Chain A
């Protein structure tokens, strides 16, 4: 009986291996849950296809692709990183699409009793440390820097700033109470309702729109499947799932 089960398992494994097509997607970490959910449906409809996710800060993901990482599809949290790849002809021309939009928010630990209601409150002594994603590599940090510069707070807040490797680490620092406030996306805040609460949202005209472009990587071995997943993100079904996590549709004409 046991050897029979082992034999069946071996056959199934080799069959899966033989027909399996792997699509590796580099995903901005703020998209994690939405992409995983859409991915499950994508794989269910395509037996033999498996999606592998590589989550991280879009700047890191961009550098990996530039260094030749075997990625099929890149979903970025900002246009800048995709523009860089386009300049180097590392993405398939014509495959680039914007599929979502997000917004920044400033959060504080759920049990925090510090009053933070508007941007200028961040300067108050009662606010100790503020986390943003490292502006070198993290789009959420780049948007935060842009907003703080426009609001005239960037220089004065320098001593209080702590940098994280990606936006989810910023979220975690706030949830753990290591810092008093942090800049994340509204979608991230919604995911940790027990650990964090929104303090205020920086004015949307203080930073460029948070647009998420996706594109098939030029060196991809699975361009058709990669394109199919990108098309799914742009479909009504994709929009529904994304909006459930708090993402908005991309601005008209954005890419």
Chain B
């Protein structure tokens, strides 16, 4: 396996782990709010969080560029302030993977939380626990399997991200060329040996992830 392929594997794992961590941080609270609370704009949040799942990855990539490109809505002020842009860095790969995997995490975790018996939460309230403590000590632990399944799915999705990553982060060997991008390049350039190696590793990894997800609970995948 060439050094480019090895760096692609290392990069993919780094990106997937970072994206999953980010998704956990952002997605679990969102899932809880969607599962347990009613608030103004709830259906808009639900839609926004689900969109990356239904939109083509290149459409999401386009919006990410509009947002974070050097002349983007957020990217331009960032560039003015720091002289730095996120596009073509590995952070861009992380952002693209995070956004594309978020719906999977939120939907899975939301379903898991919704299946927790509310009587148990109400019992905690009558015992004087705040909502936050109840969530952390009762609800989330009971939804643990679903949360883990969601994380595993999000990890797998982040590992396989291609379209949005290509658009925001580019396909730069050693810096942003993740495994899916490297497979694409290897096939484009007729390097079938390289392509096969990467495909084999990614397939194996994805199968392991699927087995793990299914072990964690019924009908999660």
Contacts and interface: CB of A to CB of B under 8 A. Distances in A.
Interface string A156-169: 00000111110000
B189 A63 contact: yes
B172 A178 contact: no
A178 B85 CA distance: 8
Contacts of A161: 172
B88 A177 contact: no
Contact of A163 (B70, B87, B171): B171
Interface in A104-145: 128-129, 134, 136-137
Given A162-B172, A163-B170, A163-B172, A178 B88 contact: yes
A113 B171 CA distance: 28
Given A134-B171, A162-B88, A163-B170, A176 B71 contact: yes
Nearest to B177: A163
List of 4 A-B pairs having minimum Cβ-Cβ separation, nearest first: A177-B71, A162-B88, A136-B189, A177-B70
A66 B189 CA distance: 11
A165 B190 contact: no
A165 B171 contact: yes
A59 interface: yes
A161 to B, nearest CB: 8
B188 A137 contact: yes
Interface residues of A, number: 18
Contacts of B85: 178
A160 B162 CA distance: 23
Q: Which residue, B87, B170, B171, B189, has most C-beta atoms of chain A within 10 A? A: B170
Interface of A: 59-60, 63, 66, 128-129, 134, 136-137, 161-165, 176-179
Contacts, number: 38
Tell me whether chain A's interface is mostly helix, strand or loop, or mixed. loop
Interface string B187-213: 011100000000000000000000000
Contacts of A136: 185, 188-189
A163 B185 CA distance: 12
Contacts of B170: 162-164
Interface in B73-87: 83, 85, 87
Given A163-B172, A165-B171, A176 B69 contact: yes
Contact of A176 (B70, B83, B171, B172): B70
Given A162-B88, A176-B70, A178-B69, A60 B171 contact: no
A63 B171 contact: no
B189 A137 contact: yes
A148 B170 CA distance: 21
B189 A59 contact: yes
A37 to B, nearest CB: 29
B195 to A, nearest CB: 12
26 contacts: A60-B188, A63-B189, A128-B83, A136-B188, A136-B189, A137-B189, A161-B172, A162-B88, A162-B170, A162-B172, A163-B170, A163-B171, A163-B172, A164-B170, A176-B70, A176-B71, A177-B69, A177-B70, A177-B71, A178-B69, A178-B70, A178-B71, A178-B85, A178-B87, A178-B88, A179-B88
A178 B83 CA distance: 12
B96 to A, nearest CB: 15
Contacts of B188: 59-60, 63, 136-137
Contacts of A179: 88
Contacts of A128: 83
Given A66-B190, A178-B71, 17 more contacts: A59-B189, A63-B189, A134-B171, A136-B189, A137-B188, A137-B189, A161-B172, A162-B172, A164-B170, A165-B171, A176-B69, A176-B71, A177-B70, A177-B71, A178-B70, A178-B87, A179-B88
